[in-house]
Amino acid sequence: MGQSYRDLIAWQKAMSFVMDIYKTTRTFPRDEVFGLASQTRRAAVAIPTNIAVGQARFTANDFLYFLGRARSALVEVETQLMIAQNLGYAAPEESGHLLDKASELGKIMNGLIASIRPAA
């Protein structure tokens, strides 16, 4: 764990994902600024934040704990994207693209978790 969190592909992809989420939620209706848009943004921001915080910890177990939190935030964003699509706030193509990115990020994070978790 000698590298910086900024060197982690998972963190880099998560940062890019946050930018995409902000771009998409900008188009949500005005009355959702403090509702679904804000909640989705907060959850998206939690992904790279938890990856960074976990990597900065001193033990692998701490890192795994924060990666678990990042994964939880990722599925929260996925759920909120599906809600936004169902409400007509996000076009199916756009939400589909974001869900594909979320899936890729989830696989990368699963690989990171597997690389840290001790073999059973």
Residue 34 has, within 13 A of its CA and on its CB side, a CA count of 0
Give 37-85 pLDDT, tens digit per residue: 999 999 999 999 999 999 999 899 999 999 999 999 999 999 999 999 9
Verdict on whether the full-model pTM lies above 0.85: yes
End-to-end CA distance of the chain: 20
Query: Looking at residues 15-42, what average pLDDT do you find?
Result: 95
In angstroms, the CA 76 to CA 86 distance is 15
The structural domains of the chain, ordered by start, are 5-116 (1.20.1440.60)
Give 87-107 pLDDT, tens digit per residue: 999 999 999 999 999 999 999
